[in-house]
Structure 1
């Protein structure tokens, strides 16, 4: 169908499977990879309990490895996830009534099983070649490795999309866009083009989900109800916050498993949930110390925005805190949309990571492009 990125806009699919391991977020947007962004459709394809268990097993196995490499358990899960992502693409296009020939590219994040930029690697599983062949659409994947290889953190990457959305919405600056998935990350956006800072803040839903799964069998605190019934143990909260990592200036990023629920063991379900929820909120407050100026307003995306107790604790610490849904954005779709946006940027050779977001020395593009016809994969600037 020719090169869909020469002039005008591109219809792109974005696929995100986060560290909360709840399912696949699939989004369809039309964008030029710069200021023009039109969301078209979104769906969530939940994982079965069995798939979640296999992803957790693959993650556990990856955390034992010294570097990414072949591994029977991990490779099997990677293939399973890729096929599930192909199904999500088909369902998304059917929902939007968009023919696959109209789609220029898929941005495929894959599943992070280990993130170790301090060791020079990050590991997202998923087969871009297989996904391209299954869908018949070019796929950009492996978004983070080029940044890590160049000395960056490889995360967070979504800030370039946050900035495009914030400027399009005319938000008062400086503004902070906070994403609360398994790990929390914040994008601080100022007035100038290069006036952008982003970094991971700490655990977001991850520890809360782990706690609830271990103590109730359900991997979430619906609406923050358990935390609302509990009491925050301030001594435990203070000890959890007393970690050198929080004083490290950005850029910085976390692995989903860099913190644990161990300090709360022995507490009631409600008290543990309350303390871990307060920990998430307090880590965001600590992030303020690293920002050039306090944001005039905070907007929250990701699953954490639906936790009423967490949102209350954030407002108590930060002031004006709102869900991105108040802007007409879909707070569940933002990350998936962002990878669609970055796939288009990758095709056009535009940067997706920056000194203020990942610590890379200069703005850098990223991603590997896989073509459906011959299965060939290469970085777009090398293809």
Structure 2
């Protein structure tokens, strides 16, 4: 099938769209990609709704922003049979309230005149899983596509960081031992928040600020004592879970504060890799963080493996997550699994997602 997937991540920068050809198991080919940034006004609406659950003030407005942005991107795509719509995560508390992604796939299906798969995470959470990360099943397909022969890791650096350990020899992504995936800790979120709080811009372009600073090593070591890093995966985080970090570095000059946050992120990834069943020779980095030279340099300094952007193996790090939700949509439509004990901690491999067709 020719499937489009869309992703609006925790960095709140905009919507990524990607088309792939897949049968829900293997990647057959890659199609077009597109990006639609959020305006400052739209980003403000989304930020105001963070941490809120359905029915709370500001949530309906956030959903309208998300739906409108997606429709702008998706409308006009040719010969797409199915759409995977992730929505915008506003709150994520597995084991408590659940998980909340703003945006109604049913409204998109009616507007597009095509089936939409959405609400990918709720079933997993309801059955005891973390509901995140969900890209690992696609990472397994990517590892097969690049011809990996030994275990490989995918590191996504969005607002939050997450790792996927992949055994490409496994027969399927839900096979026992095929995957181990979990959120590592904060990634771009505190870096971007620091820039905003100090009036320095939206993000540290080209890592200029982080590269020019000196990390507070004592502060980094104190951060890495957080109990989350000892917790056995699978495990997941909300964007706000390490929101205190910006305050921790409040007494440092701009450059040193940024360098400290970058070192915290790199250290949390290295701690996460201690949970891998077997070592990997490569860590393939996707998401916006791979474009930050300060981040890539810090990762290479603490990880005993080659740290490479996914482009080094022929993949597109800007759109990998959007592609993942296209892949998952195909699996949902065909009644296949989308998460497993090794990826979210759910009791058994399950298929999530809701299918909405035009006019109900």
Q: TM-score, normalised by structure 1?
A: 0.90
Q: Which runs of 4+ in 1 moved over 6 A?
A: none
Question: Partners in 2 of 1:48 and 1:16 — Cα distance?
Answer: 16
Question: Partners in 1 of 2:98 and 2:28 — Cα distance?
Answer: 31
Q: CA deviation at 1:103?
A: 1.6
Match of 1:104 among 81, 86, 89: 81
Q: CA deviation at 1:211?
A: 0.6
Q: CA deviation at 1:362?
A: 0.9
Distance 1:244 1:291, change over 3 A: same
Aligned residues between the structures? 351
Structure 1 unaligned spans of 5+: 1-9, 63-67, 377-383
Q: How does 1:1-383 map to 2 (within 5 A)?
A: 10-60=1-51, 62=52, 68-90=53-75, 93=77, 98=78, 102-190=79-167, 191-193=169-171, 194=175, 195-260=178-243, 261-318=246-303, 319-372=305-358, 374=359, 376=360
Question: Partners in 1 of 2:165 and 2:28 — Cα distance?
Answer: 20
Q: CA deviation at 1:166?
A: 0.7
Q: CA deviation at 1:120?
A: 4.8
Q: CA deviation at 1:80?
A: 2.3
Query: Match of 1:119, SS?
Result: coil
Aligned to 1:7: none
Decide whether the 8 Å contact of 1:132 with 1:139 is kept in 2: yes
Q: CA deviation at 1:240?
A: 1.1
Q: CA deviation at 1:235?
A: 1.0
Q: CA deviation at 1:347?
A: 0.4
Q: CA deviation at 1:161?
A: 0.3
Question: Partners in 1 of 2:148 and 2:141 — Cα distance?
Answer: 11
Q: CA deviation at 1:106?
A: 0.6
Decide whether the 8 Å contact of 1:120 with 1:148 is kept in 2: no
1:217-254 superposed Cα distances (whole Å, 9 cap, x missing partner): 41211111100111100111111111111000001000
Decide whether the 8 Å contact of 2:4 with 2:20 is kept in 1: yes
| Worse overlay, 250-259 or 313-322 | 313-322
State the Cα RMSD in Å.
1.1
Decide whether the 8 Å contact of 2:49 with 2:57 is kept in 1: no
Query: Match of 1:110, SS?
Result: strand
Question: Partners in 1 of 2:62 and 2:210 — Cα distance?
Answer: 33
Aligned to 1:5: none
Question: Partners in 1 of 2:201 and 2:75 — Cα distance?
Answer: 29
Query: Match of 2:219, SS?
Result: helix
Decide whether the 8 Å contact of 2:95 with 2:128 is kept in 1: no
Question: Partners in 2 of 1:80 and 1:301 — Cα distance?
Answer: 26
Query: Match of 1:171, SS?
Result: coil
Structure 2 unaligned spans of 5+: none
Question: Partners in 2 of 1:302 and 1:364 — Cα distance?
Answer: 26
Question: Partners in 2 of 1:44 and 1:266 — Cα distance?
Answer: 37
Query: Match of 1:20, SS?
Result: coil
Question: Partners in 1 of 2:195 and 2:6 — Cα distance?
Answer: 27
| Worse overlay, 157-166 or 313-322 | 313-322
Question: Partners in 2 of 1:148 and 1:110 — Cα distance?
Answer: 16
